[in-house]
Amino acid sequence: MKIAQQIVGVNQRLGNTAVPNMQGTTRAIYDSQLLTVSQNQTLTFFQGVSGRLYPFANVNNNRFEVGESLAITSIAFCAAEPDATFTDLADELYENFATGTTVTNTILLNLYIGNQRVIKDFDLNYSRFGIGEAYNAARQKNVIHLETPIVIPPQIEFYATVTVTSSANVLARRFFLILSGQGTLLNTKSTF
């Protein structure tokens, strides 16, 4: 099944029959949270995102507007450098989560859409080993491509939790969770 068909199918079952006429697009949403201490912590992304202004998030609500949806095909996770101010172009975004480059931490993701858990204890660290079809370990270190798209329909709340289940070598810094894939935008008349 094509991704577009899955978006349409999910929305039609929810009664959103106009979605096939919406604007197809490439969509990516992100939210960030500060790991305040160098130890185990569970971060909740997208919930309460209205309180995190740009550039800490690029959405202002944890549910899409009417006509908008996203089929998540890949998930990325990265961290800003510890002293990043987000006002200087010299601030870097890193793939390293830990103080030791040879040590990797277990980072468990749970994704919830409309009170249902659609991703369960998913180790985001998997991508850092460069495992998978045709993926270059030197690139895309923090990207996991899903085996099946997960559709977030419009008007349904969603949020994600990320648990860093490891020891004191986790750095206290701001972490970014990025959900990307094909989506739809509200288009009242026509499509390009």
Partner 1 sequence: MQNIPVAAQQEQVNKFLQANRALGAQMDQQQGTTRIIYDTLPNSGTNVGTSLDYFSQVSGKSSLLIAGQPATNITDNRFEPGEGMVVKEIAFYNMYVNVAPGTPSFLDSSIFGLSLLNFYIGNNRVLKDLPLLVGQTTTAFNNINTVSSATGNSNNRRFLVVRLSTNIVIPPQVQFYANLRLPYAGADIDSGGCGPLRMYVKGYGKLFNPRNNY
Q: Which of 178, 139, 180 lies closest to 162 in space, CA to CA? A: 178
Interface mask toward partner 1 for 31-70; x: CB under 8 A: -----------------------xx--xx--------x--
- 26-34, 98-106, 112-120, 161-169 -> range binding partner 1 (CB under 8 A): 26-34
Q: At closest approach, how far in Å is the CB of 83 from partner 1?
A: 12
Q: What does the buried/exposed string (b/e) look like for 105-127 if buried means 16 or more CB atoms within 10 Å of the residue's CB? A: bebbbbbbbeeeeebeebebbeb
Closest CB to partner 1 among residues 15, 51: 51
Q: At closest approach, how far in Å is the CB of 163 from partner 1?
A: 20
Q: What does the buried/exposed string (b/e) look like for 78-92 if buried means 16 or more CB atoms within 10 Å of the residue's CB? A: bbbeeebeeeeeeee
Q: Which of 77, 71, 79, 87 lies closest to 24 in space, CA to CA? A: 71
Q: Which residues bind partner 1 (CB under 8 A)?
A: 23-30, 54-55, 58-59, 68, 73-74, 76-78, 80, 84, 86-95, 134, 136, 138-143, 145, 176, 178, 180-182, 185, 187, 190-192
